[in-house]
Structure 1
Amino acid sequence: MVSRRTFLATTAAAAMAGTFKAQAASFDGQTLRVQFWGGSDGLAIQKYIVDPFMKATGAKVVVEEGVTSASIAKVTAQKNDPQIDVAFLDDVGVFALNRQGLLDKIDLSKVPNAKDVYPAFILDGGFGIGFWTYITTILHNTKGPAPASWDDLWSPAYQGKVLVPAITDTQALLLTVMAAQLGGGSLENLDPAWPRLKALKPQIFSFIENRALDAQVLQAGQATVAVDIPTYFKPYMSGSSDIGVTTDLKEGYFAITGAAVLVKGSKGDRDLAHAFINQALSPDAQAGFATDVWYGPTNQKTVVSDSAAPYVVHTPEQLAKAIQVPRLELVNKRPEIVENWNKIFFS
């Protein structure tokens, strides 16, 4: 007997191997230039996309690293002589670059795995496609009950017990949006957020700046909840850890998508570029991302390991509760949020 998990993994691997075998002859000796994040994200991409792709196709992949803002700046600066063929960046980069006319639309007919990607991850009319998603949610000390709502952060039970993101992090902007929503507002109407954030001040244990120390505080129960991205705490959460992650909040949780784009006018072979994106969308690669960096899959056929499942969004029911904030609009609101945030918490 073969389990469903083993069968799906074996079938996906065989299909991938067959596809790459057919492509290898035409891609042997060719070069693709790509840009993506460094750190643990970059290591996962190297392991599950770059290395197997080069081995299977014979192509050379030249990697440059940079966060999303750096990638946007680089593609923009090189618009008259593009040096990057494929860029991986947060969804805001798709919208920012496409508004400048710097992207080519992805030909989904050349990306077989795209047919299994949840439609919500086909971005900006097909100029970007998501290959992982990560969440901003509430982590908690598991010796107590998990929060059921964002509104619980204001509960007397959490007075002086909340770890809050620093305003330099996107998570603080998203918490502000949630504060506005809980007060009847929205991203477009942030006014209700300010009294809610003022009321949050007595709840705060500290602002998140050093995850190693913050994990110790959360583990010890000095703080009992934290608003953050779970993967940042991953290095400090062993099997016996008392730190848990909730993916069952009444209002949902914020999701950001890591996406692939084709840079307009780049010099690399377009079939090679599409094949590289196809590898990013493969169930094998996305299962690896879930395990190694706790980023959820966008391909519906991905089988997430039992060890990663509690920390990533991966089921249709979970994805239905993901809050996708318009990223360009959030960036535009950032100065207003930062100004009011600093007045509330530091004046």
Structure 2
Amino acid sequence: MKKLIVIVASLLVLLLVATACAPGTPEETTPKTTPANGVETTAKTEPAGKIGEGRTLVVGIWGSTQEDIARELIIPRFEEETGATVELILGGSSDRNALLYAELDNPSMDVVYLSMAQAEAADKAEVIQPPNPDGVPEFNNLYEPAQKSGGYGVSFMSVGLMYSTKEFQKAPSSWMVCWDEAYRGRVAPFVFPGTQGTAFLIMAARLHGGDENNIQPGIDAIAELKPIPMFASGIDELNLAFETGDVVLCPQIDGYVVTYKEAGGSVDFVVPEEGGILSMNCATIPKNAKNTDLAEIWINIHLGQEVQEAYAERLFYGPTSSTVVLDDELAGKVLYGLDQVKKLIVPDNELISEKQSEWAELWNTQIVD
């Protein structure tokens, strides 16, 4: 009997030792806190916050359809992903470009949309950050011209000829049609400086024995178009002039022409045999931006399939990403694919920026006056 009691006692001791050494349950190991009221409570681990909580991304972009796309497709996804809010600063790229330089040490915007020439100049002046593929993975999918823009190329466009389908049964084959006597007084240059005005001046110079290094032949050639019915600036005003027949030819960006044609306008677009001028919109990040990480997320969303496709569908701007897929009908209406892009003339934008004031003086004194 004594032996049995000893054995049972030994087993109880071993059981107590094992229980003391065993790991506790999750409830037992959760840290506990004792607040001021003396009641012991269990501390809970909060989920990590999103990187943009309490922050605002400021984006300078064009209005109208581009604003609509940003509000519908970029902002909701961006805010959900980051927790940040977005403020859009709407207007033209000239004002945004000027602010890049004026606000170098303390920029008011985090993402600035510019033209190709403006982005290249800003990159050279080091007022914008160089592209960062680590922060913007979609950069790796961009066609080469969009990677070399200084920022992130977001849409391709071409400057060619807008022509009246009432006047032309088939598309003009050459830019030289603008100097055909039959159309004198009905060819409308765009204002200069500007994308279309600059492109037309360059083409006029090249067609008449000059180039960007010798622009005078272009100035003389455009002066020969007088009487000039209008120097186009507003899209609606130009479209009305085509409708009335006051204008039958004009240098224009492809997307604007297709948009008006789709709305019932009697116009079409062609890149003449001498070529068109490549134009591109770019997203850039100021050198000292306050929210670079958020800006990169925004741009990466812009370069994805959904947003690029929306730009093609609504604005007829060509996608800059090699991974974007468009259906055949839409692809036929926009600048789509590297083969088409390579057919266009890429002007010397650095030289153009240097010469712009000089050219504007020639334009104003020898063409406008």
TM range (shorter): 0.7 to 0.9
Moved more, 258-267 or 174-183: 258-267
Which one of 66, 87, 94 corresponds to residue 69 of structure 1? Answer: 94
> Structure 2 CA distance, aligned partners of 1:206 and 1:79?
38
Counterpart amino acid of residue 323 in structure 2: K
Give the Å deviation of 1:325. Answer: 1.8
2:258–2:269 CA contact under 8 A, matched in 1 = no
> Structure 2 CA distance, aligned partners of 1:172 and 1:280?
28
Map of 2:68 onto structure 1: 43
Give the Å deviation of 1:285. Answer: 0.6
Moved more, 322-331 or 225-234: 225-234
SS, match of residue 312 in structure 1: coil
More helix by share: 1
Residues 37 and 24 of structure 1, relative CA distance in 2, 3 Å threshold: farther
1:212–1:236 CA contact under 8 A, matched in 2 = no
Map of 1:8 onto structure 2: none
Q: Determine what percentage of the aligned residue pairs are the same residue.
A: 26
Which one of 255, 263, 282 corresponds to residue 259 of structure 1? Answer: 282
> Structure 1 CA distance, aligned partners of 2:98 and 2:250?
32
Map of 2:219 onto structure 1: 194
Give the Å deviation of 1:55. Answer: 3.4
State the Cα RMSD in Å: 2.8
Instruction: Answer with 1 or 2: which has the greater Rg.
Output: 2
Counterpart amino acid of residue 60 in structure 2: Q
Map of 2:80 onto structure 1: 55
> Structure 2 CA distance, aligned partners of 1:68 and 1:217?
26
> Structure 2 CA distance, aligned partners of 1:196 and 1:279?
44
SS, match of residue 322 in structure 1: coil
> Structure 1 CA distance, aligned partners of 2:116 and 2:233?
24
**Higher RCO structure, 1 or 2 (CA under 8 Å, sep 6+):** 1
Residues 243 and 188 of structure 1, relative CA distance in 2, 3 Å threshold: same
Deviations 1:48-75 (A, max 9, x none): 3223322344332222233222222223
Deviations 1:176-212 (A, max 9, x none): 111111122111111322332233325x443324543
Residues 184 and 99 of structure 1, relative CA distance in 2, 3 Å threshold: same
Which one of 315, 318, 324 corresponds to residue 337 of structure 2? Answer: 315
Deviations 1:77-135 (A, max 9, x none): 222223322222112332333333322222213322222210111135xx411011223
1:155 matched to 2:177? The reply is: no
Residues 135 and 339 of structure 1, relative CA distance in 2, 3 Å threshold: same
Matches within 5 A, 1:173-322: 173-201=198-226, 204-232=228-256, 236-246=260-270, 248-268=271-291, 270=293, 272-304=294-326, 308-322=330-344
Map of 1:81 onto structure 2: 106
1:106–1:274 CA contact under 8 A, matched in 2 = no
Aligned residues: 320
> Structure 2 CA distance, aligned partners of 1:24 and 1:154?
64
> Structure 1 CA distance, aligned partners of 2:123 and 2:115?
13
More strand by share: 1
Gaps of 5+ in 1: 1-22
> Structure 2 CA distance, aligned partners of 1:269 and 1:341?
40
Residues 96 and 250 of structure 1, relative CA distance in 2, 3 Å threshold: same
Moved more, 334-343 or 306-315: 306-315
Counterpart amino acid of residue 193 in structure 1: G
Q: Normalized against structure 1, the TM-score is what?
A: 0.81
